Amino acid sequence: MSYIRLANGTVWPHPRPMTEDQGTSLEWRLRRSKDPLTRPERLVAASVLEAYRSLIMHPFQTDQHIARIVGEIREKLEKSQ
């Protein structure tokens, strides 16, 4: 699992896009696989869920702050491609 570190020191899980081989995608495995998730896969899922919860539910998050966070994550994603 890779992470994106923002200028304010926070760390966010890297949102991985779906691949052509959907069987290797965690999102696909969570929805469709009958095989149990591995511990690393569970940790990645927990990290993504916590990032989402923090972004949406944190009492100090304003719309402007959320927009800055999302904008910086998108900027770092564009630079990494």
Q: Which residues of the chain have pLDDT under 50?
A: 17-20
Rounded alpha-carbon distances, angstroms, from residue 65 to 2, 10, 20, 69: 23, 13, 34, 6
Amino acid at 7: A
Number of separate domains in the chain? 1
pTM over 0.75: no
Angle between helical axes of 63-80 and 39-57 (0-180°, round to 10):
140
Residues forming beta bridges with residue 5, ordered by sequence position: 11
Predicted local confidence at residue 18, as pLDDT: 47
Residue-wise pLDDT for 12-25, tens only, equals 887 764 444 555 67
Predicted local confidence at residue 20, as pLDDT: 44
Which runs of consecutive H residues, i.e. helices, occur in 1-81? 26-32, 39-57, 63-80
Domain hosting residue 67, numbered range: 3-80
